[in-house]
Structure 1
Amino acid sequence: MAHFTVIGLGRFGIAASLELIYLGHTVTGVDRDPKIVDKYVEELTQAIICDSTDENALRELDLGNSEAVLIAIGEDMQSSLLCTLALKNLGVQEIWVKASSKAHHTIVSKLGVQRIIHPEEEMGVRVAQSLNYPMVNNYLSLGHGLYVVEIHIKASLHDTPIGHILGCAKGRVQTVLIQREQDVLNQIDQDFVLKANDIILLCGTRAELKYLAPRLV
């Protein structure tokens, strides 16, 4: 279990906070609006009213105990940047920032922040991928052109060897694991027979995974 601080309790910030708590972590939520803080005081580990652009006020939050600080301030780019600069001055090492525009991203990156989030763009990409490949339930970009995709096996593929699905992509697309009901299997050869409702994780390039798409419907 780790502790996190989330600054800005709009829809994005509170969603991240509640999910972290659901995952077993503790969260300090920070917002300058007393009404918002009061709204979530029972749901968060700690809820604090604070002007996040004020370095002295942030110093009182004891941010050194946080695994990371997420700046989830919405469209107010100036407040987000001032908060980022204040956290940098306070020596906070792990800072994640929600960016609202390319200019915002550029300036934050110049401040030395490595973790910059574009939630609307990222969700748009995920929706497009789901529309393009409806058999893919979820995916993760690993960088360098590699992706991990989560696929739910349909009834039409029941009793199909996984090697038949991989075809000539064998060796270039890796089967990371297969979940079958409560069991997780990671020793998988080409003769492994899939069952309906299996969940498989495949890793490969976009081109190779795209090649497999027609075999998974």
Structure 2
Amino acid sequence: MAHFTVIGLGRFGIAASLELIHLGHTVTGVDRNPKIAELYVEDLTQSIICDVTDEHALRELELAASNAVLVAIGEDLESSLLCILALKNLGVKEIWVKASSKAHHTIVSKLGVARIIHPEEEMGVRIAQALNYPMVNNYLSIGHGLYVVDIEVKSALHDQPISTLLSKTQGDVDAILVKRGRETFIRLSDDFLLQEHDTFLLCGTREALEQIAPRLV
């Protein structure tokens, strides 16, 4: 279990906070609006009212003890930047920042934060991928042009060996695991038989995964 601090309890900030709690972590939520902070007193581990642009006020929260601090301040660019600078001065090393514009991203990138997030843009990409490949439940970019995709096996692949699916892309796409009910299979041979409704994880380049997409329908 880890402890996180989320600064800015708008829709994005509270969604991230509640999901972290759902995953078993503790979360301190911080907002300068008393009504918003009080609204989530029962939902978060702590909900604190604080002027996040005031370094002295932030110092009292002992944020350096958090595994990471997420700055989820929305459109207020000045407040976001002042908050980040204060966190850096306080020795917080793992700072994640929600950027609301290219200008915001450009400035924040100069401040040495751990990660800059563009939630609307990233969700737009995910929606486009889902529309383009409806057979893919989820996907994750792992860098260097590689992706992990999560698919549900359809009836056309029932009782078919993995080699049938990957025959023309062997080496470009790797089968990671198959989830079948409560069972998980991780050492997958070429003759492993897929069953309808299996959850199948594949890893490969986008080009290779696109090649086999028609076979997943």
After TM superposition, the score normalised by the length of structure 2 is 0.99
Q: Give the C-alpha shift of residue 114 in structure 1.
A: 2.9
**What is the deviation of 1:90?**
0.7
- In 2, Cα distance between the equivalents of 1:63 and 1:114? 15
SS of the aligned residue for 1:131 comes to: helix
**Deviations for 1:62-121, whole angstroms, at most 9, x for unmatched residues?**
112200000000111111011001101111000000000111111111011130000000
CA distance in 1, matches of 2:61, 2:184: 42
Counterpart-to-counterpart distance in 2, 1:185 and 1:90: 46
Aligned 8 A contact 2:151 2:201 in 1: yes
* CA distance in 1: counterparts of 2:160 and 2:44, whole angstroms: 47
Unmatched tracts of structure 1, length 5 or more: none
SS at match of 1:195: coil
CA distance in 2, matches of 1:192, 1:78: 56
How far did residue 170 of structure 1 move? 1.2
**Secondary structure, aligned partner of 2:203:** strand
Encode CA deviations 1:157-189: one digit per residue, 9 max, x unaligned.
211111101121012100111101111111001
Distance 1:114 1:27 in 2: 19
Q: Percent identity?
A: 71
Counterpart of 1:176, as a letter, is I
Separation of aligned partners in 2, 1:83 and 1:142: 30
Aligned to 2:16: 16
Question: RMSD of aligned C-alpha atoms?
Answer: 0.7
Matches within 5 A, 1:164-203: 164-203=164-203
Is residue 64–residue 90 contact of structure 2 (8 Å, CA) maintained in 1? no
Partner of 1:144: 144
Aligned to 2:115: 115
Q: 1:81 corresponds to which letter in structure 2? A: L
2: distance between equivalents of 1:200 and 1:157? 11
Structure 1 counterpart of 2:68: 68
What is the CA–CA distance in structure 1 between the aligned matches of 2:188 and 2:83, rounded to whole Å? Answer: 48
Q: Extract structure 1 runs of 4+ deviating beyond 6 A.
A: none
The residue identity in structure 1 corresponding to 2:83 is C
User: Per the alignment, in what secondary structure is the counterpart of residue 190 of structure 1?
Assistant: coil
| Structure-2 residue corresponding to 1:211 | 211
Supply the AA of the counterpart residue of 1:48: I
Tell me the matched-pair count: 217
Residue 59 of structure 1 corresponds to 59
TM-score with structure 1 setting the length? 0.99
Q: Mapping of 1:83-122 within 5 angstroms?
A: 83-122=83-122
